[in-house]
Structure 1
Amino acid sequence: MNWTFTSENNLASTFASHINPFWQDSVKEGYFTGKDDIKVRYAYCIPETPQATIVICSGRIESYLKYKEFIYDLYQNGFAVFILDHRGQGLSDRMTRDPQHGYVADFDDYVDDFVMFVETIVKPLQQGPLQLVCHSMGGAIGALTLLRLPSLFSKAVLASPMFGIKPSLPNWLANGLIRTGLAVNRMKKADAGYFFGQTPYIAFPFSLNKLTHSKTRYALFRELYDEEQEIQLGGVTTEWLAAAHQAMNRIEDSAGAITTPALVLSADDDAIIDNKRQRRVARLMPNAELEIIPRAYHELFTESDDIRERSLSTILDFLTACTHTS
């Protein structure tokens, strides 16, 4: 299939001439109220006669505003797109005294929000099959959602899914550090605190970034977070890390029960994800194809054109292929 994607050449002017006007004209934004009265913000767009409805489950620190180019590309290729900002990040409500804290009490809270979003906002407007596209932490949330509701989505794409994170410490050490961190927070009588070595938001220069090879897309990402300061997020809290470890262990233990036809894209030069564990889990999923993207850093949707186009074409080919079930 011939898909068309934006290019990093003159991307700033493409934003001005095409992507931002599209966002003004075609994207609707709203919110719903999740558990503990947390406002969860979302956005969606529906082209005429879409071939399918894609729900995006984004990564840590992300906002749907960061996905404008990707959403535009999906829309131009005939897909309806729905995306939410997870609780505690993006434009959704924060939950601790410090809005920069990367915090969640339990990954099931993310899943509850996500399921509520799909059932109450997406399904009434769904056209064509319902498909899931995840990135990073969103891959862990997506996997937990597929475990809870195996028939919710007809297909799932997990890009750089967070089935393990670096540094991949042995369990006893990770658990020990997490326990110590939680004890420190209790002594401080704090609702949450940064894990050792984590800090508020820092905008790293491109030369130090391990997210993308695209200077243009990286610059646009940092510009966005400078302009829209309320979407900035710092490092993870000990609570988030404890919840993430629990979630990743659960996914690995239950991977055989993730039966939705899935495509797992593994970024070969990922510095964030423990690829060894990620690929091990992917191979335990009975209906998953594992595709390794050579030279790719963590963020496949904002990579340089060659890597991004290969990733996006692979995703859209997978989502539109006829599934033959025996």
Structure 2
Amino acid sequence: MQQAPFHQLPDDRLAPASAFFVTADDGKRLRLALWEPEDSAAYGTVLLFPGRTEYIEKYAPVARRLTDRGYAVLAIDWRGQGMSERLQDDPRPGHIIEFSDYQRDVIEMVVAGRHIGLPEPWHLLAHSMGGCIGLAALENDLPVQTAVFSAPMWGINLRRFQHGAALGIAYLAGRLGRGGLVAPGSGGANTTYALEESFNANLLTGNADEWARLMREAAHWPDLTIGGASFAWVGKALNECSRLSAIASPTLPMLVGLGSEEKVVSAASIRDRVAKSPRASLFEVRGARHEILLETPDRRDAFIRAMLDHFDAG
């Protein structure tokens, strides 16, 4: 493991994470970050799986809530985003070669956690794309005792496209050698969502303070951000969501958060998975958009309290 940078805004008073680089089995460099309780030894660990476009620093406030409760938190920049190795010459599109490659990152995260000696039991907190990766990781026996999902990407809200048409376009783009280009409707190639979208129109949060934080972070750390998803990412992600829809549900306790104003992932896919999961419960947040953990204080705190109770009960 090699020490890595961890960024903070000038007025940030939270304790910084300890960040470091590791190398996956295919040679890709990945950045991890560890937060630990300040005043006592941790009595458990939360593996934090971010979503597409995200970076470790975004989760510092959530990590603080977890460390205050006594948990260590280990987070990752997925390959192709944050400070982990990008996957093509143009670093801006969110890109992937095979969706299963994210499981290589999960394995390296677990190996690092074991090497550090992070305390057990371990738990999973996964948001959006991280929820898709997380469900596959549970299928592969991720060593966690409980799981919390925030707006998991178990299906994608394509809005303007039908599922089959989107898959066909992604496949054709790959055949034409354009799989690494940004797919229409997923965001601009050289833009960052928090800097290009207005607060009133954004799909992520109704919290103006959190939206301002995302804008400041994007402006201060442009190299951590990425733009829209590549054709290859769209095709691989749709196929992975379809594959996961057919697998048996995990048997460990799961808490699944869903905002009533969700427009990024498929709410129907989330409801379907919870309905057929023997130990899953759906926590619906009235008025929340996609980023429940960044929502207005009343919405955010209600979900975080449920999350902490869920981990404690596990």
Q: Same fold (TM over 0.5)?
A: yes
Q: Verify the 8 A CA contact 1:156 1:262 in the aligned structure 2.
A: yes
> Does 1:102 pair with 2:90?
no
Deviations 1:243-271 (A, max 9, x none): 101110111100x2422221111111111
Deviations 1:35-58 (A, max 9, x none): 432110011022222232101000
**Match for 2:20: what amino acid?**
G
Where do residues 28-39 of structure 1 align in structure 2 (5 Å cutoff)?
Answer: 28-39=18-29
**Match for 2:198: what amino acid?**
P
Distance 1:227 1:142 in 2: 30
Match of 2:236 in 1: 243
Match of 1:217 in 2: 210
Q: SS of the residue aligned with 1:157?
A: strand
Q: SS of the residue aligned with 2:153?
A: coil
Deviates further, 191-200 or 111-120: 191-200
Q: List runs of 5+ in structure 2 lacking aligned partners.
A: 1-8
Distance 1:154 1:131 in 2: 6
Match of 1:154 in 2: 145
Structure having the higher helix fraction is 1
Deviations 1:200-252 (A, max 9, x none): 22312212211001111110111011101111201000110111011101111
**Match for 2:275: what amino acid?**
R
Q: SS of the residue aligned with 1:158?
A: strand
Match of 1:196 in 2: 184
Distance 1:56 1:15 in 2: 25
Root mean square deviation, CA, Å: 1.9
The offset of 1:31, in angstroms, is 0.8
Q: Verify the 8 A CA contact 1:82 1:122 in the aligned structure 2.
A: no
> Does 1:167 pair with 2:158?
yes
Q: Verify the 8 A CA contact 2:180 2:232 in the aligned structure 1.
A: yes
Q: SS of the residue aligned with 1:42?
A: strand
> Does 1:227 pair with 2:220?
yes
Match of 1:9 in 2: none
> Does 1:305 pair with 2:294?
no
Aligned residues: 298
**Match for 2:204: what amino acid?**
L
Q: 1:315 aligns with which of 284, 307, 312?
A: 307
Match of 2:6 in 1: none
Q: Verify the 8 A CA contact 1:181 1:195 in the aligned structure 2.
A: no
Distance 1:16 1:101 in 2: 30
